[in-house]
Amino acid sequence: MQRPVIGIIGNHHLINDQYSTHAGGTMNSEAIAEVSDCVPLLIPADPRYVSTDELMEIFDGFLFTGGRPNVHPEEYGESPTEAHGAFDRCRDAVSLPLIRACVDRGQPFLGICRGFQEVNVAMGGSLYPEIRDLPGRMNHRMPPDGTIDEKFALRHCVTFSEGGPFHRLMAAREVMTNTLHGQGIKQPGQRVVIDGTAPDGTPEALFIKDAPGFTLSVQWHPEYRAAADPVSRPLFEAFGRAARAWAEGRRAVSVDCVA
């Protein structure tokens, strides 16, 4: 049988600071192909080229990836400041309505880092521009120096809600994760359930309450060495099962059935 097809949301990128491209991290495609057992295809995140309706018909599920640009604060009713960093309004215009459509229809998606934040904003939530500036919060940003392995090293634990979908999926209430983000959830959106937090209280895992389909999203980067990581592997495997069910009969698999 043909593998399910997963749309991976791309990011705008300049080669040699001149040539405009849409890019996606190789590790995202690797996790989808090798752990979710699906076909990864990059989506150009620009509303001039794709529409929500077209994407919903073409793909069996979506991976909302990380990315250096942040969700524009006007999307949650705030004015931009220097602390908010760079933006990608074209990606906002593709991702946010697509997330809402998936929630309504039951089509599976997995949100990662910026994707995690996009899910919250799509549901009416807001973001802090810089987590490390908040009293009592740790620095969640990528270490400025070191190898890729050092940048993606496990740095803090995440504690899941007792009996929640992440607890059931991981068969553990506490896991170790990497951390490579500056922003984070301020106010959860409607129906957004925070199901995991860092030691400083920063939201790290969520799902959408009463959504008919798979809506698990995480603030860390599980795509890094996903096949070998005991936290990443079950997450991508569960996403693959949900995409397979959708591909076989447009059947939604809710977060209550992930484990």
Token code pair at residue 239: 């996403």
- The beta-carbon contacts of 224-229 under 8 Å, at least 24 apart in sequence, are 224/27, 224/152, 224/178, 225/27, 225/152, 226/27, 226/30, 226/31, 226/34, 226/35, 227/30, 227/31, 227/34, 227/35
| Cα 158 from Cα 205, distance rounded (Å) | 8
Say how many C-beta atoms besides its own lie within 10 A of residue 33's C-beta: 15
Residue ranges making up the domain that contains 81: 5-257
Token pair recorded at residue 36:
């979710």
Q: How far is CA 139 from CA 64, 144, 188, in A?
A: 23, 12, 21
pLDDT score of 258:
66
pLDDT value at residue 85: 81
Residue 61 phi/psi, 5° resolution? -175, 170
At 250, which CATH number? Answer: 3.40.50.880
**Structure-token match 């969520």, residue found:** 206
Phi, psi of 110 (to 5 degrees): -125, 125
Structurally, the chain folds into a number of domains equal to: 1
> Quick one: pLDDT at residue 259?
63
pLDDT in tens, the chain (259 residues): 699 999 999 888 889 989 998 889 999 999 999 999 999 999 999 999 999 999 999 999 999 999 888 999 999 999 988 888 888 999 999 999 999 999 999 999 999 999 999 999 999 999 999 999 989 999 899 888 889 999 998 999 999 999 999 999 999 999 999 999 989 999 999 999 999 999 999 999 999 999 999 999 999 999 999 999 999 999 999 999 999 999 998 777 777 766 6
pLDDT above 90 covers what percent of the chain? 79
pLDDT for res 8: 97
Nearest to 7 by CA among 110, 79, 93, 78: 110
pLDDT in tens, 152-187: 989 999 999 999 999 999 999 999 999 999 899 999
Instruction: Return the structure tokens found at 156.
Output: 């803090």
Q: Which residues contact 159 (CB under 8 A, 6 or more apart)?
A: 173, 174, 196, 197, 199
Q: What is the pLDDT of residue 82?
A: 82
Cα–Cα distance for residue pair 130/133, rounded to 1 Å: 6
